[in-house]
Amino acid sequence: MLREHGRERFLTGPELRRLFQALDEEPNQTAAACIALLALTGARKGEALAMRWEDVDLPRRTWRVPRSKSGRTRHIPLSDSAVALLARQPRLPNVPWVFPGAIAGKPLENVRKCWDRVRAKAGLLPDTRIHDLRHSFASMLVNHGRPIYEVAEILGHNQLSTTKRYSHLQNERLVEAANIAGQVVWMAGE
């Protein structure tokens, strides 16, 4: 029986730059900020939509997700960019949500329309999913030399095999690694 292969889609640096340009120009800045946070943290869409101010600790640079997909609490580290994004978010009186919805007292429910607009404006392929931002985040970390264990912890994965599916090495990194081996082999033959 052939095993099903997961999608291997992650955004490149130029694609991410175009995406962030489109997010800056998006009329719905609440939804745009939510999408930007996904790209900056590797969080799941549902986690960001349910994000409350009480779970954000900007001085400690952490975001507590009370109940992640695994059912456990997890903590997401916040980069300088994520902290800056959250610091720009307006805090409305008596509204606990970081990304409040159009209906009073409710969080933002969906970012699909915003995603479709910014994806098209950024020139991304039509099949690019919002979840691909999570893969892109993991791939960026791995391609910049971060250990898979760190990536797994940030993404909240219990199994390294899951993290491996999320993190894709760029061909340039693989060629660089192959060149190291090639140099060693070449020198051994001399």
For the question of residue 69 being annotated catalytic, the response is: yes
CA geometry: angle 107, 108, 114, nearest 5 deg = 175
In Å, how far are 34, 158, 170 from 140, measured between CA atoms?
A: 19, 20, 9
Is there a contact between 10 and 125 (Cβ–Cβ < 8 Å)?
no
- Selected catalytic residue, list 75, 121, 129, 131: 131
For the question of residue 134 being annotated catalytic, the response is: yes
- Selected catalytic residue, list 44, 45, 74, 168: 44
For the question of residue 166 being annotated catalytic, the response is: yes
Contacts 24+ apart (CB under 8 A), 66-72: 68/44, 68/156, 69/44, 69/156, 70/156, 70/158
- Selected catalytic residue, list 18, 119, 134, 168: 134
CA gap 57, 62 in Å, rounded: 5
- Selected catalytic residue, list 7, 69, 91, 113: 69
For the question of residue 7 being annotated catalytic, the response is: no
For the question of residue 149 being annotated catalytic, the response is: no
Residue found by looking up tokens 């954000």 in the block: 56
For the question of residue 144 being annotated catalytic, the response is: no
CA diameter of the chain? 74
- Selected catalytic residue, list 18, 45, 74, 157: 157
Residues acting as catalytic residues = 44, 69, 131, 134, 157, 166
